[in-house]
Amino acid sequence: MISVALPKGRLGNKVFDIFAKVGYDCDEMHSDSRQLVFTSEENGISYFLVKPSDVSIYVEHGAADIGIVGKDILLEYEPDVYELLDLGIGKCRMCVAGMSDFKDNPDVALRVATKFVNIAKSYFKSINRNIEIIKLNGSIELAPILDLSDVIVDIVETGTTLKENNLAVINEFLPISARLIANKASYKFKTEEINTIVTKFSEELSK
Amino acid sequence: MSDNLNFLYNDELLTLKLRKLYESAGFKKFRMSKFESYDFYARNKDFLHGQRIITFSDLNGKLMALKPDVTLSIVKSADNAAGRQKLYYTENVYRESKDVHEFKEISQVGLEVLGDIDLYQTVEIIILAIKSLLEIDPDAILDISHMGYTEGLLDCLTDDIALRAELHKLISGKNAHDIVKLANSNSLPMNPVNTAIGLMVSKNSNDEAIADAVANALNARMQGAVKEISSIYEILKAQGLEKHIRIDLSVTGDPNYYNGILMHGYIHGVPRDVLSGGRYDMLLSKMGKDCTNAMGFAIYFDALDRQLHKKTADDTPVYILYDESSDINTLVSLTETLREQGTFFNAVTSLPCDAKSKIYKIKGNTTEEEEL
Q: pLDDT, tens digit, for every residue of A94-111? A: 999 999 999 989 899 999
Q: How far is B346 from chain A (nearest CA, A)?
A: 39
Per-residue confidence band for A144, with pLDDT thresholds at 50, 70 and 90: very high
Mutate which: B99, B143, B177, vs A, most A CBs within 10 A: B177
B286-292 own/partner pairs: CB under 8 Å, 24+ apart:
B286/B44, B286/B256, B286/B257, B287/B44, B287/B72, B287/B75, B287/B76, B289/B75, B289/B78, B289/B80, B289/B114, B290/B80, B291/B78, B291/B80, B291/B114, B291/B115, B291/B116, B292/B115, B292/B116
Domains of chain B: 7-135+267-315 (3.30.930.10), 141-255 (3.30.930.10), 318-371 (3.40.1630)
Q: In the structure, what pLDDT confidence band is assigned to residue B316 with cuts at 50, 70 and 90?
A: low
Mutate one of A57, A86, A188 to test the B interface: name it (highest B CB count within 10 A).
A188
CB distance A86–B177 less than 8 Å?
yes
Contact B271 A83 (CB under 8 A): no
Chain B neighbors of A83, CB-CB under 8 A: 173-175, 177-178
Q: Which amino acid is at B70?
A: V
Q: Do A186 and B271 touch (CB under 8 A)?
A: yes
Whether A86 sits inside 8 A of B202 (CB atoms) is: no
B chain contacts of residue A60, beta-carbon cutoff 8 Å: 271
Instruction: Output the pLDDT for position B313.
Output: 46
Residue B50 has pLDDT above 70, yes or no: no
d(CA A144, nearest CA chain B) in Å = 32
> Looking at per-residue confidence, does B2 or A170 come out higher?
A170
- CA closest to B243 among chain A residues: A189
Greater model confidence, B7 or B120: B120
Cβ-Cβ contacts under 8 Å, B266 against chain A: 184-185, 188-189
> Looking at beta carbons, which residues of chain B come within 8 Å of A185?
266-267, 270-273
Query: Where does the pLDDT of residue B4 fall: very low under 50, low under 70, confident under 90, or very high at 90 and above?
Result: low
Shortest Cα distance, chain A CAs vs residue B216, angstroms: 22
Q: B57 at the A interface (CB within 8 A)?
A: no
Q: Are B174 and A195 in contact (CB < 8 Å)?
A: no
A78 in reach of chain B (CB within 8 A): no
Lowest mean pLDDT among A2-11, B140-149, B313-322: B313-322
Average per-residue pLDDT in chain B?
89
Q: Does A18 touch chain B (CB under 8 A)?
A: no
- B207/B209 Cα distance (integer angstroms): 5
pLDDT above 90 for B332 = yes
**Set of chain A residues whose Cβ sits within 8 Å of the Cβ of B202:** 191, 195
Pairwise CB contact (< 8 Å): B174 & A83: yes
* Strand ranges inside chain B, DSSP E: 28-29, 35-37, 55-57, 63-66, 85-97, 102-115, 141-146, 245-247, 261-266, 275-279, 293-300, 318-321, 345-348, 358-363, 366-371
Give the pLDDT of residue B1. 41
Q: Check B177 against A191: CB less than 8 A apart.
A: no
Averaged over B84-105, what is the pLDDT?
86
> What per-residue confidence (pLDDT) applies to A91?
92
Q: What is the pTM of this model?
A: 0.86
Pairwise CB contact (< 8 Å): A184 & B266? yes
pLDDT band at B69 (very low <50, low <70, confident <90, very high): confident
- Residue B53: pLDDT band (50, 70, 90) is confident
B32 — pLDDT class (breaks 50, 70, 90) = confident
Q: How far apart are CA B123 and CA B117, in angstroms?
A: 10
Cβ–Cβ below 8 Å for A184 and B141: no
Contact B177 A85 (CB under 8 A): yes
pLDDT value at residue B3 = 56
Q: What is the pLDDT of residues A30-67, one digit of tens each?
A: 877 778 889 999 999 999 999 999 999 999 999 999 99
* Residue B360 at interface with chain A, using a CB cutoff of 8 Å: no
User: Looking at chain A, which residue has its C-alpha nearest residue B141?
Assistant: A188
Mean pLDDT of chain A: 93
Kindly report, residue by residue over B257-278, the tens digit of the pLDDT: 889 999 999 999 999 999 999 9
Q: pLDDT grade, residue B312 (50/70/90)?
A: low
- Percentage above 90 pLDDT, chain B: 58
To the nearest whole percent, how much of chain A has pLDDT over 90?
A: 88
CA distance B237 to chain A (A): 19
Confidence of residue B194 (pLDDT cuts 50, 70, 90): very high
What's the pLDDT at B39? 86
**A186–B202: do the CB atoms touch at under 8 Å?**
no
Which of B23-37, B158-172, B242-256, B341-355 shows the lowest per-residue confidence on average (mean pLDDT)?
B341-355
Q: Does A13 touch chain B (CB under 8 A)?
A: no
Q: Does B143 touch chain A (CB under 8 A)?
A: yes
How many alpha carbons lie under 13 Å from residue A139 in its C-beta half-sphere? 5
Which residues in chain A are closer than 8 Å to B270, comparing Cβ atoms? 62, 185
**Selection from B174, B166, B126 nearest residue B146 by Cα:** B126
Q: Which region among A62-76, A141-155, B56-70 has the lowest average model confidence (pLDDT)? A: B56-70
The alpha carbon of residue B34 is apart from the nearest alpha carbon of chain A, in Å, by 30
